[in-house]
Structure 1
């Protein structure tokens, strides 16, 4: 069996850390690191909702995603300079927004909006998954801020959500692909799951020949292992932040 470039076991995540409070002016923020991928997630609160939600007594949670020009091996142009976002950027930020809204009680949030900005500082594979995992913590901390300021009576979250990539490589089915693995994988998939085992979204693609249902189940098994560890890292980050801010538990 071929070994992974990193030497990791097939079911091993890259080193993960989630540092809360990184953006000091945001209502909630974290810097999440998954191996060489680093994403700053900052949640901002506004006391208004989009036009299509006005008067309905519901809130809104959305996300924006972007990469710094030198987050990758060669410089990428700033999308603001081009005057439009790429299709990839739009697809990823919509995924992040959907993933967060799946675990928020928008009625309990009331008529306010929370935008989570996910800015990739360094990219080494799995940026959308790291963004979702970090964005949930930033959102949780923003909601804690609203509770602490007596804007909300409680945190309107219904579950934790996290995401991880899995793929089929020369080493077989593996968890949490870095760039080298992702760029050479025969198939890859992103799993967005809740801590109770619910499926929010799965994005899977065969890059070469179609893969089997058995192989898919192998990837799903790995995703559950990986997200289990990510849920624990999320909880640790929230507890660390609440211990210093005196938030609700």
Structure 2
């Protein structure tokens, strides 16, 4: 924030600590066990959860389930056509889907799932920065609803969730610490950071990169403070649409 009484505004009209409008819309896919359309401004990601019996071969006999993710950008999601991705030709997408999987497993009691695999598919319909953070946030809603359906069917005695997880970006742009970067900001940020965190203020993962400059500890703390406040707001939005409250 600036030292003046009026927050300094960004080109898009937002204050430095203001997020884009966020919408989490549940049950958007008829055949999915859980689904959510996550919208962060003009970024839109369709997140679906599919429950399947069995676990990967290396997991058999562990008497526990598995939660994993896949991520892809649809061809017309960006300002230029993105080629379709096929197995064996990934890279960035593989890194992001591993992030999503790790994030969701951090708040899931796999030992209470039984031997089932839940796959979260995160497909970017439209990209304007923050696709991975929108994916994590929306995927938690889809996962929650898939697990709630299992409880309703008597497949599980209770939700095997230890809490909520959400993610948001922050960065240094023209020397200013900003929350929730859109594409124009992200594309010329000096420092880019993504934070995955829980509703109770704990950190799951931090991804930070000096794109055009380095940063000092004070700047890092400022970015983390911005991002943690953003995660708190996102978790509140998740609670609002799902009714989830940790007992």
TM-score normalised according to structure 2 size: 0.94
| Mapping of residues 184-223 of structure 1, within 5 Å | 184-223=188-227
What displacement does 1:52 show? 0.7
Residue 230 (structure 1) shift: 0.3
Q: Which runs of 4+ in 1 moved over 4 A?
A: none
Q: 2:18 corresponds to which residue?
A: 12
CA distance in 2, matches of 1:18, 1:225: 18
Secondary structure of 1:79 counterpart: coil
Q: In 2, distance between residues paired with 1:25 and 1:94? A: 24
Q: CA RMSD in A?
A: 1.4
Give the one of 168, 185, 194 matched to 2:172. Answer: 168
Question: Partners of 1:63 and 1:85 in 2: how far apart?
Answer: 16
State the distance in 1 between where 2:89 and 2:101 align.
16
* Contact 1:162/1:227 (<8 A) preserved: yes
TM-score w.r.t. the length of structure 1 is 0.93
Question: Are the aligned partners of 1:3 and 1:171 in contact in 2 as well (CA < 8 Å)?
Answer: no
- Give, in angstroms, the shift of residue 85 of structure 1: 3.0
User: Equivalents in 2 of 1:153, 1:46: separation in Å?
Assistant: 18
2:160 matches 1:156: yes
Residues 173-214 of structure 1 deviation map (CA, whole Å, 9 limit, x = unaligned): 000000000001000100000111111000000112210100
**Alignment coverage as a number of residue pairs:** 239
Which of structures 1 and 2 has the larger relative contact order (alpha carbons within 8 angstroms, sep 6+)? 1
- What is the CA distance between 1:3 and its match in structure 2? 4.1
SS at the partner of 2:162? coil
Of the three residues 141, 144, 150, the one matched with 1:146 is 150
TM-superposed CA distance for 1:171, in Å, is: 6.0
Give the Cα–Cα distance (whole angstroms) in 1 for the partners of residues 88 and 20 of structure 2.
Answer: 33
Partner of 1:92: 96
Partner residue of 1:236? 240
Residue of structure 2 aligned with 1:74, choices 60, 74, 80: 80
| Alignment match, 2:5 | none
